[in-house]
Amino acid sequence: MLVLLSVKNLKMHYKTKMGYVRAVDGISFDLDSGEGLGIVGESGCGKTSVSMTILRLLPDNAEFKGGEVLFDNENGEPVNLVSLAESEMRRYRWKGISMIFQAAMNSLNPVYKVGDQIVEAIQNHFPDTPTDVAKKKVAELFKLVGLDPTRMEQYPHQYSGGMKQRAVIAMALSCDPRIIIADEPTTALDVIVQDRILREIRAIQKKLNMAMIYISHDIAVIAEVSDRIAVMYAGKFVELADSVTIFKRPMHPYTYGLMHAFPSVTGKKVDLVTIPGEPPDLLAPPRGCRFYPRCPKGDKLCEEKDPEYVEVDKGHFLACHHPVQPGEVVQFNAE
């Protein structure tokens, strides 16, 4: 059976004066239709680069270093997006995989009306669509995301932050994509607006049975919307499992640390974990496990050898030599 999107050992590095920044360094995952996958990681861990690599929206200094992105294009034969010609690739953008960008505030062009920008996307992929039909479709999308269709004729600066975010979601839906990548869709918003947007995205996803990839630094946000969660650290996935497992039984010490570093509003007021040190420099990451310098469980093996990313349980992938055992309390001795 074909999966919708299959990323295999994807590697993408940025070339700089000091050497290669290994932003995406061997990422693998599958995505089924209708599924919500969350990627969580700290700033600079390469999570945004993953999405940009899949859509091939990279700056000039980015270089592919191997791997495949297999996308099921509905006629039985998956295409490898990495090896497509640029003109071919354009057909898959937005129609196959669309994106909700990190900074929704800035992803609308200030000099065009919002409606026209969405119409442009539709007519680009379906050139035969007359403008009025496309406009009708945009009006429907606006209703779907909870915006007044009359706002189509307005410019982005006349929108509030939450409205812009909704318009961007409507734009992402405009070509009926099979996958939507949402990169920090709510970071700049206040909690109440964030809550509403998250609910809407989730509802639309369920309604249209779309596959989604959520990218965020905030585990709580990811937990609200994803079926499966991947934890990314320094250019690699360290753990991937369904969201309940990740929360109830994290096996990677980093995942464990993240779970326990999060203050809770109403739950028990527990002592928070501090992970010592800083994430590694991706120009020269540690030789062995990339988490080794900060890991309380690290030993000689971790220093020497990078753990392989394997399926340890059904659907539970892990890259760690010394997984956290059930019930174990990991002591991070920070300062």
Within 13-52, the residues that bind other proteins by CB under 8 A are 42-43
Residue type, 93: R
Query: CA 229 to CA 63: how far, in whole Å?
Result: 27
309 contact partners, CB below 8 Å, separation of at least 6: 26, 28, 236, 237, 238, 317, 318, 319
Q: Does 111 bind other proteins (CB under 8 A)?
A: yes
Burial per residue of 193-225, b for 16 or more beta-carbon CB atoms within 10 angstroms, e otherwise = bbebbbebbbebbeeeebbbbbbbbebebbbbb
CA-wise closest residue to 168 among 114, 224, 94 = 114
For 85, the token pair is: 């010609």
In the block, tokens 């309390």 appear at 329
Q: Which is nearer to other proteins, 1 or 289 (CB)?
A: 289
Q: What CA–CA distance (Å, rounded) separates 56 from 58?
A: 6
Task: Among 90, 202, 249, 322, indicate the residue that binds other proteins (CB under 8 A).
Answer: 90
- Among residues 9 and 32, whose Cβ is nearest to other proteins? 32
Cβ 244 to other proteins shortest distance, Å: 5
Task: Restricting to residues 157-216, name those near other proteins by CB under 8 A.
Answer: 157, 160, 162, 171, 190-195, 198-199
284 binds other proteins (CB under 8 A): no
Q: Please identify, using beta-carbon distances, which residue of 10 and 258 lies nearer to other proteins.
A: 258
| Smaller CB separation from other proteins, 176 or 195 | 195
79 counts as binding other proteins under rule CB under 8 A: no
Q: Which amino acid type is present at position 30? A: D
In the set 76, 77, 85, 110, which binds other proteins (CB under 8 A)? Answer: 110
- Which segment (5-13, 104-112, 145-153, 203-211) binds other proteins by CB under 8 A? 104-112
**178, 2 Cβ separation under 8 angstroms:** no
274 contacts other proteins (rule: CB under 8 A): yes
| Piece of the chain touching other proteins by CB under 8 A; list 58-66, 136-144, 300-308, 311-319 | 58-66
Which residues inside 212-241 make contact with other proteins, applying CB under 8 A?
217-221, 223-224, 226
Site for other proteins in 306-325 (CB under 8 A): none
| Residue with smaller CB distance to other proteins, 261 or 310 | 261
Q: Min. distance of Cβ 151 from other proteins in angstroms?
A: 14
Please identify which residue in 29, 71, 92, 142 interacts with other proteins, judged by CB under 8 A: 92
Angle among Cα 285, 220, 244 to the nearest 5 degrees reads 90
Q: Which of 257, 285, 307, 323 binds other proteins (CB under 8 A)?
A: 257
Beta carbons within 10 angstroms of residue 286's beta carbon? 17
Helix pair 131-144, 114-125: axis angle to 10 deg:
120
